[in-house]
Amino acid sequence: MVSVYELVEKARKTGKVEKGTNEVTKAIERGTAKLVVYATDVEPKEVVQHIPILCKEKSIACAEADKKEKLGISVGLGVKCASVAIINAGDAEKDLESFIKSMKK
């Protein structure tokens, strides 16, 4: 199974990914996000604290990443990134489906 970072990178290259907490929050509220990933090392925690709650309300899969620096790299930024939303997985669609299934176990 692919890691969350590999999944985000593959989706970025062949699909559509939103970057940053504001854009991710909008994607959740609009219901366009298929998977949301947020970094657990964000300070202050309140920056991303609302994300898993919103995802649960909208029935959107939500995963944690341990490092915002690695999340930023996987999404193609030269800086750290607190959260990412996969809108269109592109070639990573099958990987996305299996990743979400494995989260539910």
Read off the pLDDT of residues 35-64 as tens digits, 9 standing for 90 and up.
999 999 999 999 999 999 999 999 999 999
Mean pLDDT score of the chain, rounded to an integer? 96
pLDDT band at residue 1 under the 50/70/90 scheme: confident
Task: Domain count for the chain, please give it.
Answer: 1
Answer for the pair 10, 91: CB distance below 8 angstroms, yes or no.
yes
How far apart CA 78 and CA 91 sit, in angstroms, is 23
Cα–Cα dist 92/29, whole Å: 23
Q: Name the residue range of residue 58's domain.
A: 4-103
What is the structure's pLDDT at 104?
A: 79
- What is the total residue count of the chain? 105
What's the pLDDT score for residue 19? 98
State the pTM of this model: 0.95
